Amino acid sequence: MADTATTASAAASAANTSTDAPPFQLGKPRFQQTSFYGRFRHFLDIIDPRTLFVTERRLREAVQLLEDYKHGTLRPGVTNEQLWSAQKIKQAILHPDTNEKIFMPFRMSGYIPFGTPIVVGLLLPNQTLASTVFWQWLNQSHNACVNYANRNATKPSPASKFIQGYLGAVISAVSIAVGLNVLVQKANKFTPATRLLVQRFVPFPAVGRLSCRRAPGCSSLYKALCAWQPSAWPCRWPSASSRRCQRSRRPS
């Protein structure tokens, strides 16, 4: 009861000093999750690449500010905006289960800057067999690392499970991409221009098929898209706000 009272007192103090931001709620999304726009803005917060440039000192300050709020020792003058910003920084950098820093390329905020070069490589025209295999392998490797870095660490899984999933994803993606490329090249009815255009779209079924296979785990960025549609839950990323895996929303 005492903790509840002190937290409520801290919330009231913050609310009185800021009217621009909504009242702060520890571990809750800043934006309403009952509308598409609210979920969209929340998702933009998750992938905000600016959090990649947060210094170690700023991270410590953000963590301490949240601890002060939690224990009701928040200093006067702290605004809701500052609290929301602190929570955003902490959740973007630290794993919610282990409280350890996530390697920058594998954070959700790093998915776009580090994943975009891979997407460009997947869409390069006139690819050889070697380049097709390389880019598909790199894409699936990046996805696997993101999945592992953002895993549910409260229920450890054997390493063999991750290795098996990784190998299955790589083999499937490479097989689909190479197979479709061969089929397109053997399609005599296609003009050179049409063949080139169709080849540009070969990576999509390879990547899309694998993202569907990963759906039960809901661990990668594809599954963060479930935040846009609550009916897609039990995706473990319904809000991705306080934990990577919000198990409370999974059906029994």
Better-predicted residue by pLDDT, 181 or 213? 181
* Whether the predicted pLDDT of 6 surpasses 90: no
Instruction: Count CB neighbours of 47 within 10 A.
Output: 18
pTM: 0.69
* Whether the predicted pLDDT of 140 surpasses 50: yes
Is 181 within the bounds of a domain?
Answer: yes
Rounded-to-integer distance, Cα 105 and Cα 142, Å:
9
Radius of gyration of the chain (CA): 22
Rounded-to-integer distance, Cα 132 and Cα 26, Å:
45
Is 237 within the bounds of a domain?
Answer: no
- Tally the domains of the chain: 2
Residues 74, 116 within the same domain: no
Instruction: Look up the domain containing 64 and give its range.
Output: 14-93
Residues 68, 115 within the same domain: no
Note the pLDDT tens digit of each residue in 152-207.
888 878 888 888 889 988 998 888 888 887 887 777 777 777 767 776 666 766 66
Note the pLDDT tens digit of each residue in 51-89.
999 999 999 999 999 999 999 999 999 999 999 999 999
How many residues are recorded in the chain?
Answer: 252
Is 50 within the bounds of a domain?
Answer: yes
Please give the C-alpha separations between residue 158 and each of 62, 165, 219, 237, 244, in angstroms, as whole numbers: 33, 12, 16, 22, 19
